[in-house]
Amino acid sequence: MDTFLQAYFQEKSSLGFNFDNSLRNEKLIKDGIKELPVVKTGTTIVGVVCKECVVLGADTRATNGPIVADKDCDKIHRLADNIYAAGAGTAADLDHVTSMIEGKLELLRLQMNRQPRVSNAVSMLSRHLYPYQGYIGAHLIVAGSDITGNYIYQVSNYGSIMQHPYVSMGSGSLSATTVLESGYRDGLSQDEGTELVASAIRAGIYNDLYSGSNVNILIITSKNVHHFRYFDTTAATRLYRQPKLTVFPKGTTPQIMEKIEELKVSLIENTTVQDISDVVMA
């Protein structure tokens, strides 16, 4: 075979999946180096397509393993004036990925002199996440309204895309999905969709330890966007509070009788005398 062709095929074969890191990790484990622990992340995010709008919802609890790191974390990120994304996963990854896509969509808007479409944002996210094979902790529900209609897309951290009329993601998604499946129907009004999303988020908060605090709601229509912080704060209300120390004033308890007895104490002192003759000097 020609030398040029050999070099070409060798270069093409190196563009596929590379498992060198897997072999390296196995060797490191055999040498006694421990794997880094996986930190569990948790969230409940919900999206619903209504008749004239799209509704996004999210809780506000950010966790670091079993620790509540932030009670008021806004998980709804702006991508464009008409496109927003609710994120679950690693907070730092979500902030940086959505900020990057927001910049790309703004450049696209300036270049084409028109409003970007929801499919543009979804395609950019998929192309960015797929090469990392899930190592970017960004699970997103992309919602938006453009000239073609209202849309909800589910974008996994692996880069896969699915379009839904309603969807939930995060550790509280199972509880939220039960509410969505029982309450969703075609042609929901804005108020009905908002209440359905809020109920689904509340279900995730009440049944998932990694979701909590408040409910945030965002409504996207063809004309404007309404972002409701603290739409519902009842889930963050403490049901039990430690009672205050009760101080009883003097005389609260009645004195029935009083008896004073004299206490006699006998003190006996013992004196020990050591015989010097028994002490041996070394």
In order, the DSSP letters of 48-71 are EE-SS-EEEEEE--EEETTEEEES
- What is the distance of C-alpha 257 from the center of its chain? 64
Query: What's the pLDDT at 268?
Result: 75
Residue 95's CB is within 10 A of a number of other CB atoms, namely 13
Q: pLDDT class for 265, splitting at 50, 70, 90?
A: confident
The Cα–Cα gap between 58 and 61 comes to 9
Q: Looking up tokens 């896509």, which residue turns up?
A: 101
Q: Which alpha helices (H) appear in the chain, and where do they start and end?
A: 3-13, 20-30, 91-112, 118-129, 173-183, 190-207
The Cα–Cα gap between 261 and 227 comes to 76
Q: Looking up tokens 């484990």, which residue turns up?
A: 29
Q: Looking up tokens 């589910």, which residue turns up?
A: 154
The Cα–Cα gap between 119 and 101 comes to 12
Query: What's the pLDDT at 19?
Result: 63
| Mean pLDDT, rounded, of the chain | 87
**CATH fourth-level superfamily of 45-232:** Aminohydrolase, N-terminal nucleophile (Ntn) domain (3.60.20.10)
The Cα–Cα gap between 211 and 178 comes to 16
Residues involved in catalysis: 43
Q: 57 pairs with which residues across the strands?
A: 46, 217
Cβ pair 234, 209 in contact under 8 A: no
The Cα–Cα gap between 59 and 205 comes to 7
Q: Looking up tokens 């060798």, which residue turns up?
A: 10
Query: What's the pLDDT at 280?
Result: 44
Cβ pair 75, 43 in contact under 8 A: yes
Q: pLDDT of 11-46, one tens digit each? A: 555 555 556 677 777 888 888 887 777 667 789 999
Nearest one of 211, 165, 154 to 188, comparing CA atoms = 165
Amino acid at 154: Q
Residue 142 vs residue 38, higher pLDDT: 142
Q: pLDDT of 71-83, one tens digit each? A: 999 999 999 999 9
Nearest one of 196, 223, 210 to 60, comparing CA atoms = 210
Q: Could you tell me the residue ranges of all domains in the chain? A: 45-232
Query: What's the pLDDT at 14?
Result: 52
Amino acid at 181: E
Q: pLDDT class for 4, splitting at 50, 70, 90?
A: low
pTM: 0.74
